[in-house]
Amino acid sequence: MEKEQRIEHFNVDLGCDLDCANCEKYLECNAPEKIPSYERKRMQKAREAMGKIKKKVLVIGGKGGVGKSLVTANLAGALAMRKKNVTVLDQSFDAPVVCHMLGFSGKKLTVDKDGIVPAKGLLGIQMVSMGLILEEDEVLTWFHEMKRNATEEFLCHVNYGERDYLIVDVPAGTSSDTVNLLQYVPNLDGIVVVTVPSEVSQAVAMRAIMLCNKVGTTVFGVIENMRGFNCPGCGNKVNILQTGGGERLATKMNVPFIGAIPLDPRVSESSDKGVPFIIKYPDIEASRVINDMADRIENT
């Protein structure tokens, strides 16, 4: 009987061609030939375009469908309610939904002599999103280089102006989309990690944190979404899914655990109507968690 052979490594590296901008191993590369991104002309443009933004925050999760856009929209709402000037950058090019959650449906990005002009919505929140360019029935099928080019456009050629916060909704995964942002966003202040109770989600979120650790980025904290169901009628709570995944992830990665957002009809209902639950229902448990995260970001 033949001895079973295990796959220890999957080699897809065809050699280095010094094309650092297109290399997904950029963050872990220690080669002396590595070309630092900040020396490139486009990175100077990004620093200039974003130079008047006080804090830049990425919302990540690794796995899709965990609620990154939900947290992004409500975190923007929480900071705007504190009289802060907030801009949301939606980096989900093929599935932009945060603009709908913030009530930007029907609005479009415009251009003036200084570049792309963000759309403006409730509480003065600004929005930059492909959802404000694409038609409702238009499907986007971009691959790595096109997404990188779009990222550069949104970072370098948007007239952001003076803002207190830039909140970036990062798409699922730890591949090129996330690496592009970690490379290109100048002076990134930190990340917010969103997960759900399942063990699968924890594993992917952990990899996202590990990726951010490579560039020394601060982790403001972990939020667990979809923990338990709060009945709006009787107030009883039922744990439909597992619980405690967010705490376990935070403990394992030695980062703060901020809190858990329960399954609540008011959360989804407000998102569908384009008004963040933090604004429409400021006293529910989900809003308390978002406010705690906003406190953490403001005080860190």
Question: How do residues 208-220 score in pLDDT, each as one tens digit?
Answer: 888 888 878 899 9
Residues 6+ apart with CB under 8 A from 260: 223, 224, 225, 227, 228, 243, 246, 289
Place of tokens 């490594």: 9
Terminal Cα-to-Cα distance of the chain (whole angstroms): 60
Q: Considering only the top CATH level, what class is 37-299? A: alpha beta
Q: Are 157 and 116 in contact (CB under 8 A)?
A: yes
Number of residues assigned to the chain: 300
Does the pLDDT of residue 45 top 90, yes or no? no
Measure the CA–CA gap between 175 and 215, rounded to whole angstroms: 15
Residues 6+ apart with CB under 8 A from 262: 226, 227, 228, 229, 230, 237, 285, 286
Does the pLDDT of residue 270 top 80, yes or no? yes
Q: Are 27 and 214 in contact (CB under 8 A)?
A: yes
Strands 163-169, 53-60: pairing kind: parallel
The token pair that represents 212 in the structure block: 């951010």
Which position has the higher pLDDT, 272 or 197? 272
pLDDT band at 123; cut points 50, 70, 90: very high
Query: In the prediction, which pLDDT does 30 show?
Result: 64
The token pair that represents 143 in the structure block: 């691959």
Section 254-279 average pLDDT: 93
Does the pLDDT of residue 153 top 70, yes or no? yes
Q: Are 76 and 276 in contact (CB under 8 A)?
A: yes
Question: How do residues 61-76 score in pLDDT, each as one tens digit?
Answer: 867 778 999 999 999 9
pLDDT band at 33; cut points 50, 70, 90: low
Query: In the prediction, which pLDDT does 183 show?
Result: 74
* Four-residue CA torsion sign, 294, 270, 122, 134: positive
Query: In the prediction, which pLDDT does 83 show?
Result: 97
pLDDT band at 124; cut points 50, 70, 90: very high
pLDDT band at 11; cut points 50, 70, 90: low
Section 266-274 average pLDDT: 92
Measure the CA–CA gap between 249 and 203, rounded to whole angstroms: 8
Measure the CA–CA gap between 189 and 214, rounded to whole angstroms: 14
Section 119-144 average pLDDT: 85
Query: Kindly report the CA angle at 193 between 280 and 250, in degrees rounded to 5?
Result: 115
Does the pLDDT of residue 10 top 60, yes or no? no
Report helix angle 68-81 to 285-299, nearest 10: 70
Query: In the prediction, which pLDDT does 211 show?
Result: 83
Q: Is the pTM of this model over 0.75?
A: yes
Does the pLDDT of residue 121 top 90, yes or no? yes
Measure the CA–CA gap between 92 and 83, rounded to whole angstroms: 27
Query: In the prediction, which pLDDT does 264 show?
Result: 87
Does the pLDDT of residue 92 top 60, yes or no? yes
3-state secondary structure of 94: coil
Query: In the prediction, which pLDDT does 117 show?
Result: 93
| Exposed e or buried b per residue across 47-73, where buried means at least 16 C-beta atoms within 10 angstroms of its C-beta | eebbeebebbbbbbbbbeebbbbbbbb
Least confident interval from 68-72, 139-143, 270-274? 139-143
Which position has the higher pLDDT, 15 or 130? 130
pLDDT band at 207; cut points 50, 70, 90: confident
**Checking phi first, is residue 151 left (phi over 0); if not, alpha (psi -120 to 50) or beta?**
alpha
The token pair that represents 172 in the structure block: 């699922």
Section 133-144 average pLDDT: 75
Section 153-172 average pLDDT: 92
Burial of 202 (0-12, 13-18, 19+ CB in 10 A): buried
Measure the CA–CA gap between 207 and 201, rounded to whole angstroms: 10
pLDDT band at 96; cut points 50, 70, 90: confident
